[in-house]
Amino acid sequence: MLIYFVRHGQTDWNKTFRWQGAVADNELNETGRSQALAVRDWFVNNDKPPVGIVSSPLKRAVATAEILAASYGLPVLREPAFKEVGLGEFEGKTSQQLKDTYGERFDQWLESFHLLAPPGGENIEQAIARMQEVLLGHIHAYGDGLVIVAHQAILMAMKAALSGDLGPATLASYKQGNNEIALWDYERACIRDRIYIGG
């Protein structure tokens, strides 16, 4: 059984390396819309019709999901549990601003790949706790061909939840670009393939 993990298209905050968590509800920029169209084109051209599309309720994810869904006449199910990992005080700041303010604490957070929580935010274990049961429910409801559209850290959390591996090296391998589809092999609990799209 394959689950398709799609990260939303680019926003202006992605472009300027500004950290974007569960609070910021930014729209896709022009590049992001092109990336969402490229996701749609990959599914259409590779004869991979989604059986269902579940999205984070944040605008950048919903817009990406809706572009894909329109080609198949499918609804987009907005799932609150799939919001991005909470970044607390790091939300809306650039990496340089965070480095200047938090120094080594910011470096440690980066190196942990979300095992540490930012001030006032979530760590990846907390994110898994709030969404794992919901994730499994959607997988069991839809099965092979489910598409999940969400965000960088919460997608890492989903893969960690399904694999049971929260090692920093594994979490790093679960990172996903705005222009990438991860094909998850549910039975083997690993990424089968990565599709780097245009846009």
| Amino acid identity at 153 | A
Q: Which structure tokens are listed for 58? A: 């944040």
Q: Catalytic: 8?
A: yes
Nearest one of 88, 110, 115 to 21, comparing CA atoms: 88
The one catalytic residue in 8, 114, 138, 151 is: 8
Q: Which structure tokens are listed for 132? A: 């794992």
Q: Catalytic: 84?
A: yes
Contact 63, 71 (CB under 8 A): no
Q: Which structure tokens are listed for 151? A: 């965000």
CA distance 161 to 163: 6
Q: Classify 191 as helix, strand or coil.
A: strand
Contact 115, 167 (CB under 8 A): no
Q: Which structure tokens are listed for 156? A: 């890492």
| Amino acid identity at 116 | L
The one catalytic residue in 79, 84, 91, 122 is: 84
Which residues belong to the active site?
A: 8, 84
